[in-house]
Amino acid sequence: MADLSHDHNHAGREDTNHRHVQEDFSRQIAGREHSPVPSGSHPEELTTPTRQTSRSACHLSSVRGRSRMGTRSRQRLERVRPFPTSQLGALEVRDESFCDCPQKSQTRDLSCKCGEDDSWFEWVWDRDSKSAASDLTSDNREVRFHINYSSGTAAVRGRLPMTDRQHFWEMKMTTPVYGTDIMVGVGTSNVDLDAYRYSFCSLLGKDGESWGFSYFGRTQHKGEFNYIANSRFGQGSIIGIHLDMWHGCVSFYKNRKPLGVIYRGLSCKKLFPMVSSTAARTGMRLIKSCSFSTSLQFLCCQVLRRIIPSHLDVTAALQLPPGLHAFLTNNLSWLLRPSELESSQHQSRKRAHEPDDYGSDSNDSDVVLAKRSRKSSSELSLSEDDSANELEVDCQRLIHEES
């Protein structure tokens, strides 16, 4: 009888210990989901410091409990699993900024105005078309997601429906970029912005009603991802979107470098600008929004950009009248500016192939600078002549194809 009583008491202690461990684990998980972001910490969707502490505490509790429990209790405990790693977020993307202000900033949020030249905006974010976990400031141009903590995916829609014309807008990432996904793109009014408020996902492009571009450098439509080389973006990055409703296509720009036409077949749709985020205390600011008619002037500019080498600025490569030069610079500089990546690659190739005819043994720096200046001038004149010849041959044909 004494042995039976001892076995009964031992089994009771096992169940009690196991119940305490499970309750401790549940409290830790609940705290990770619902506790506010600690001040001074670097939050992810559910805050990195809190998550790490939670997992460490759970592991320590389980180790202590196993030392006091029998085999059956350990087997039952194995069925208690932590959250999937896919929901734990991703590391912050760094060194993708338009300027070097994020490296110099002493605060978490970026307050610089680099690249923000516009004072008039055709549209802003719609306060009546946003998730509950998002907030709008700065005259509805700046959106902040998950102010205290994140429990899912939030999104905001632009105020202007886009059915025709040419549309272009830019957004600057003002906070660290991390987590399951932060996306920009377009979508129809059928997109439910609160559909995933309690789950983490890549919202834009998850179905056939939206077309998204993720900070991972990938696009998504109908749940299918496609990666674009060198297109990841982070804090300080400026992301531009050109929606061409004449041809029904979408092009993306990163730090004002063209990434190319990404989506086609969007004609005859009513689309809205959209952004989404799963990460706590993240945000972005609208720094440009404009549109213009699909005119012969715009088609000519598209042809010019296609003909003139991409490492050259169209307005600088051609001898334009001052008035036309100023108009194109103020209105279509995003289309006519050179690709900075290809420009640097072109300069590297040119330096690698040019002979060392500057006299490496010469000590006269003025002679060296004069030779370089004459050579640069001759190369620029040659490129302008080549561009003019190409324009005379191909411009009419390409304009006819565009129309």
- Host domain of residue 126: 101-294
Cα gap 36→32, rounded to integer Å: 9
In DSSP notation, 181-215 reads -EEEEEE-TT--TTTTTTS----TTSSTTEEEEET
Residue (of 254, 228, 227) closest to 241 by Cα position: 254
Checking if the pLDDT of 46 tops 80, the result is no
* Tens-digit pLDDT profile for residues 312-340: 889 989 989 999 999 898 888 888 888 65
Please indicate, yes or no, if residue 395 is contained in any of the structural domains.
Answer: yes
142 lies in the same domain as 42: no
Please provide the distance, in angstroms rounded to a whole number, between the alpha carbons at the two ends of the chain: 98
Give the pLDDT of residue 50. 40
321 lies in the same domain as 395: yes
Q: Where are the alpha helices (DSSP H) in 69-137?
A: 71-77, 101-104
Confidence of residue 348 (pLDDT cuts 50, 70, 90): low
CB atoms within 10 A of CB 208: 12
What is the number of alpha carbons within 13 Å of residue 217 lying toward its C-beta? 11
125 lies in the same domain as 196: yes
Highest mean pLDDT among 75-89, 299-313, 364-378: 299-313
Residue (of 55, 69, 54) closest to 17 by Cα position: 69
Write down which residue in 44, 59, 87 finishes a domain.
87
CB atoms within 10 A of CB 248: 15
- Region of poorest pLDDT, from 107-121, 144-158, 192-206, 240-254: 107-121
Mean pLDDT of 172-184: 96
Please indicate, yes or no, if residue 280 is contained in any of the structural domains.
Answer: yes
16 lies in the same domain as 66: yes
Please indicate, yes or no, if residue 302 is contained in any of the structural domains.
Answer: no
What mean pLDDT, rounded, does the chain reach?
Answer: 75
Please indicate, yes or no, if residue 94 is contained in any of the structural domains.
Answer: no
Write down which residue in 249, 264, 294 finishes a domain.
294
- Kindly tell me the burial class for residue 95, based on how many C-beta atoms sit within 10 Å of its own C-beta (0-12, 13-18, 19 or more): exposed
- Region of poorest pLDDT, from 25-29, 30-34, 71-75, 288-292: 30-34
Please indicate, yes or no, if residue 49 is contained in any of the structural domains.
Answer: yes
Mean pLDDT of 301-314: 89
* Tens-digit pLDDT profile for residues 126-136: 999 999 999 99
